[in-house]
Amino acid sequence: MSFVKYEQKDFVGILTIDREKSLNALNDEVLADLASAIDGIDAEKTRCLIITGAGKKAFVAGADIGAMSTMTPDEGRAFGAHGNAVFRRIEKLPMPVIAAVNGYALGGGCELSLSCDIRLASENAVFGQPEAGLGITPGFGGTQRLARTVGVGKAKEMIYACHNIKADEALRVGLVNAVYPIEQLMGEAMKLAERIAGNAPIAVRQCKKAINMGLQMDIDSAIALEPELFAACFGTQDQKNAMSAFCEKRKHGPFVNK
């Protein structure tokens, strides 16, 4: 993989988009590397994943405009489908995914962050969907996930007016969970990832499934789904060990993902 680096730290995976000279802009090669990195994740060992960008200027500054400038409609459709497929795979990973947004997250970068479960931002982060100013629409899920995250009105303002927002406003509207000085961002992302990884992996994954699937259902169907995922946890070794320890007023041992 030329443009993506992957590192494993105990139960936490760190995926870095490494195209710093181009502000980590996305093209077909970067998307292919992202897909390859996802293929290589050890789902048994990795209990939380962090996605970030190389350097201190950009998470992902957008898709590669130079590459898009000469695309035909058919090529544009294929590029959009490629990006959407990769981002949907990230969204559907069984483990939680944290976006550590270390600078510009514009266009495809904003859309990549939206495919993650949790977004943490550096103070210099900027979010936006500038596509309408370039004669196109968001193509990697921005019209759908942004509205679901910040509300329809704010999403339409950002998309129609190409209105970028800084980290403090992103926090205010619920686009990000927290904002940190850039020097602290990865440390804070690791703290959160390790805290997530310290809980029962099967239970955490069932929680993710319940939230993500439930948001696409009517409330009655979602409420019916929850007990099924709840029940599945009772057959696990982690549940038996943790509840026995609680009842016996002792600390439980490490979760074994079984």
Q: What DSSP letter does each residue of 71-117 carry, written as one string? A: --HHHHHHHHHHHHHHHHHHHT-SS-EEEEE-SEEETHHHHHHHTSS
| Whether residue 111 lies in the annotated active site | yes
> What are the residues whose beta carbons fall under 8 Å from the beta carbon of 223, sequence distance 6 or more?
none
| Whether residue 131 lies in the annotated active site | yes
User: Whole-angstrom Cα distance, residue 109 to residue 196?
Assistant: 24
Catalytic pick among 75, 111, 228, 248:
111
Catalytic pick among 44, 75, 91, 131:
131
User: Whole-angstrom Cα distance, residue 93 to residue 255?
Assistant: 20
Strand 12-17: give its sheet, edge to edge.
4-9, 12-17, 48-53, 97-101, 118-122, 178-180
Termini Cα distance of the chain: 32
State how far the alpha carbon of 250 is from the alpha carbons of 185, 244, 246, 247, in Å: 34, 9, 6, 8
CA atoms within 13 A on the CB side of 258: 5
- The region, left, alpha or beta by phi > 0 then psi within -120 to 50, assigned to residue 93 is beta
What residues are labeled active site?
A: 111, 131
